[in-house]
Chain A
């Protein structure tokens, strides 16, 4: 059940691709990836959840912490490619009102162009 977070930059947008589950272990890896992004001064971040079939409260905590970090700096954390069961949880806790959500990574990246 190990998870991996890949990161790369597309123009001014920093993309975090989560491969695996956002259980407590996977959430720690995503948290480290966000910390690296903040260290690099990145504030426009896309989290691609295409390969994420599970999220628990640890993963949710990491996502909202990151959003609270970048929002005051004029940045944003946007989500894309969310699988249906993960979407249910994200919706259940009201995150669909806090995060902008896109179907594809490309749409999420481009959305920062018209932010």
Chain B
């Protein structure tokens, strides 16, 4: 079966998040994704890339982040690869979103959002690389399921 594939390489400079967002919106438009799917994918990819840009290279070294989108008939798989410090988002303790204001932390929502808007989140450390794989079942595909990851 033919799989449409799109790829982008950006630097770990946080300013490059704009290129990431533009790329996601362009790919989503090309595949005529619904507003909800576009929003979810943009959110997850932005949060994942910002984490790498902000925290992946504590010594300030310059590096790259690669993104690959693979479309199947009913889902899109997004693979994000970086050479930053090992970081497994699937192991992060999630915030209590029901806590009262005084107990709420101001940050720490990025991973929570990724897990909530994507259907699958997989992490693997391969050599010196973090490999994050995000899967979204598309609303207009032949089947649509919410696995409730998170």
Residues of A within 8 A of B (CB): 1, 23-25, 54, 56-58, 60-61, 64-65, 67-68, 71, 85, 88-89, 92-94, 97-98
Contacts and interface: CB of A to CB of B under 8 A. Distances in A.
Contacts of A71: 101
Chain B binding surface SS class: helix
Interface stretch (B35-43, B83-91, B127-135): B35-43
B106 A89 contact: no
Interface string B110-129: 10110011000000000000
B116 A24 contact: no
Interface stretch (B14-22, B71-79, B140-148): B14-22
9 contacts: A54-B39, A56-B50, A57-B113, A58-B50, A61-B107, A68-B101, A71-B101, A88-B36, A98-B101
Given A54-B42, A56-B47, A92 B116 contact: yes
A58 B51 CA distance: 11
Contacts of A68: 101, 104, 106
A56 B113 contact: yes
A73 B60 CA distance: 39
- Residue in A23, A56, A89, A93 whose Cβ sees the most chain B Cβ within 10 Å: A56
Given A85-B36, A93-B109, A1 B18 contact: yes
Interface of B: 14, 17-18, 21-22, 35-36, 39, 42-43, 46-47, 50, 97-99, 101, 104, 106-107, 109-110, 112-113, 116-117
Contacts of B50: 24, 56-58
Given A56-B113, A64-B104, A97-B98, A89 B17 contact: no
Nearest to B96: A94
Contacts of A97: 98
Nearest to B111: A57
A67 B97 CA distance: 15
B108 to A, nearest CB: 8
A71 B36 CA distance: 33
A93 B46 contact: no
A70 to B, nearest CB: 11
